[in-house]
A and B are shown apart, each in its own frame.
Chain A
Amino acid sequence: MKKLRINSGEWLFGLSGRVTFLISAILILFVCFVDKFHGGKAWIPSYTQHILVTCLLSALLALGLNFISGYLGQTSLGHAAFYGIGAYTTAVLLTYTGLNFWLSIFVGMLMSMLLAIPLAAASLRVKGQFLVVITYAFCEIFRYIAINVPVLGGTGGMAGLKAPEVFGVRITKLAATNKGGYMILLFLLVSVAAFFSWRVQRSRVGYAFAAIREDEIAAEAMGINVKYYKTLAMVISAAICSIAGSIQAAFATMVSPELFSSTKSIQIFSMVVIGGRMSIKGMILGGSLMTILPEVFHSVKDMAGLSFDPWNILYGLLLVVMMRVRPQGIWGRKEKDEG
């Protein structure tokens, strides 16, 4: 299958996946540990590390949504639901049962995967704006549950979650700062999700997704069970976003109904669109870009003493311009003309 097009240009600068992984791993380890080996002022401030962690979380979310909005080509403005479900499951389990954090990730995934099935069923026969409404409503339901169920802490959410341990060492103590451990953990998770996506997209399952994206009727006629594969994509997507939620809960040591906000859902969707649907590196870079840009403009606002945040305007503008000029996203593959 080497000659088939989907395969090429997936990793940075034409490097192989393995080399990309190694280089990024070295960079991450460097960022995590440099400040341990010299006495002076920290090279990598805690603020920068915080942003890096957020970039990785975003990348994970984008990789998750990519299964729906990339491979299946369907719009979802409700994926914050799975992010929130993962986070709340972890929070509830840590607070009320004292269950191990790592196990709570799996329980969260299971919850998200189960809840993805009715969402997939509801979305089966609809398209376009109806799908947007359904996914949006799905997420809203969970926001109301989070706000109104007392054990979930209401609008204030749940705070004071303990940091997880890795072989008896708190994750916050692993590296030079309390964020290093999360960075390494998330880096590994993003790598696994990227590897997973890459293997799946060129497989029989990935081609089934592609067929459904292109033409559902023809896909059925070619022997593809459209319902099954749409549900499968939703379940995978939910599981990945749920993992991001669980980590976020531990990292922030708290959860709040804001996790389920439509702003979050839209943000995840725009990361996929701007990064470039179906492109794995697009997800990672798109997620990072949509995390870093707001921060940059926020500091512009502070420095210039503006009374408004320029990002709010640019964000909308960026989406509009992208849709007009480069609908396939920055790193998305063009539908090239070989003819």
Chain B
Amino acid sequence: MQTYVQFAILGLGLGAIYIGLGTGLLLVHRATGIINFAQGAMAMWGAYVFAQLRLDGTLTFPIGSIDLGRRPTVLVSALIGLLMAVLLGLVAHYLVFRPVRHAPVLAQVVVSVALMITIQALVVLRFGPNNIKVDSILPEGTWSLLGVEVSSREILMALIMAALSGVVWAYMRFTRAGVATRAASENERAAVLMGFSPDRLAAVAQVIASVLGTIAVTLGSALTGLNPENYTLLVVPALAVLLVARMESIGIVVVAAIVLGAFQSIIGLLVTKPWWPVWAQSGFDQIVPFAVVMVILFVLGRRLPSRGSLQTIRLPDVAIPKLKLVPTLILLAGGVAALALTTGSYRFGITTSIIVMLLALSYVVLTGYLGQISLAQGAFAGAAGFTLSKVTTGWGIPFPLSIILCGLVAAALGMLVALPAFRIRGAQLAIVTIAAALAIERFVFNNYSLTPPEGNPIAAATLFGINLSVREGRDLSRLSFSLMVLVVAAILVFLFIRLASGDTGRTFLAVRANERAAASSGINVRMTKLIGFGISAFIAGIAGCLIGLSRGQLSAESFTVFTGLQILAVAYLGGITSVGGAVVAGILGPLGIIYVLLRGVFDLGAYYPLISGLGLIITAILNPVGIAGATREQVAWVRRKLSRTPPAEPRSDATTATPTPKEPSRV
């Protein structure tokens, strides 16, 4: 019993961070209606600045740094860290969130995810990818609680964060600005009538949230050290806490955060017990936030307040694809030529680009056509990849059958994730899918009893006696492998075009446009979503298998949550509604040909994640049709000019936002 109490108390450190992030999420959501997936990443920056100052007296900026000569005191360092948090809050508001404040939910989700990968990439660049030690501001010590010796530092952290949350609560409750913020969440006009600019209120909320999160992470990271991935992803349990509080009650955020932190810590103790099944030892604590999210969304479902929910997702128009023989042949010949004329890392880069194109295509199906958001595509790909390891080395199932089977496994997983999409959409669906992705990564991919740490070898493919392995001898990128990838991709794109130009594609677009109207036209909306998630995950799964085959073996690092998010970034960047967009995404994508060029010619490979994050922020704000869409518009424009006929009718598109009915209170 004693140990349980001690572990519960140790969990308060985590709980304190959840309080900080959860309160910030709530405040920002109230003020702007946006769910900020970058909350954890933002909170991390100031903490890193603090840690670096205390380590060697270097004040680090996103660009450049100042060597202060000697290490400033704890107080001065902490104040500088908080100053950075204030600035970051302002930048996030004015440069990132303000431009999309009236944009569709999807754009808002994408922008905040983009900010998240940008800051995370920046942290890796400026402070390194590894864990760094953080000075403890609070003294270590023990207290005696009910006769049990417990650590006092965690209790102090939780108390401090709870007190700060209390201050935020009082701000919302008793100050005119706070009341106006709450009013603005129902009706912006009300805030204006009270004499406040909703915009300024949102900036204030963003700054408070950033500061609160930074304090929490600065205090809490003394326990574990700072690490870019883990702290960025702490937003996921914080989102679970936010949902428990129904996005409304700061009091519940505090209680839920503490309970969740303590509970995860106790699970950490339980999994070490001899009776605990070995296969469930690692990553089980990450199942908890996911389970909380699922239960809350199923129980509360539609009753969660969400300003975005009435808005249909407004996406760029879809040009129904047609299969044209000549362009198809030219494209294929171009692909073959590119592969045949290159060798080594360049050929491998092109091959990876083709695979990333498929991953982007899985987003075209799901988001571009069906209007659903998923942050779990990387997990689908990974699930298929790891299955392929078992299927090829364990059961000896031969190629094409092996990858089809694994694609179907991914499809089944995708349909499972589709179940919550029956009831929720928009930002909440993004929360579910990122929680699912994290749970799968930690519980399956990182679980050594399911995926051995010494690696998950994948047997090379052969077909009709042709050796399709990726390397042989000193050739690290064989042509026959690359051609196999090209053929597989061509088949999938062909099938996608059949589907997109057929009844299924039309049904998807109808569901994307208006679920009610679709149901009243006899469409089974749930079945349609199930099919869409299934197809999308199948494509992602095949891509995951190809990644596996191209590496020869897989580890958890092959498919992190961030891999999935980067794919979303390039898919959106390329243009999420068309095959052309997916091709562009493939060219730009992680480890693809542009990456290889950046690394090989310009020596800029390390900047790739940062560039893709920034590129995504800019695209989501300025050019929602993506590169492919913009090109198509320009081509159409040039054609009109050339043919000198006046445009038939001013066809509106997403950039010149059509007058779709908005919620009156928000306009």
A and B together in one complex: no
Which chain A residues have a beta carbon within 8 Å of chain B's beta carbons? Answer: none
Which chain B residues have a beta carbon within 8 Å of chain A's beta carbons? Answer: none
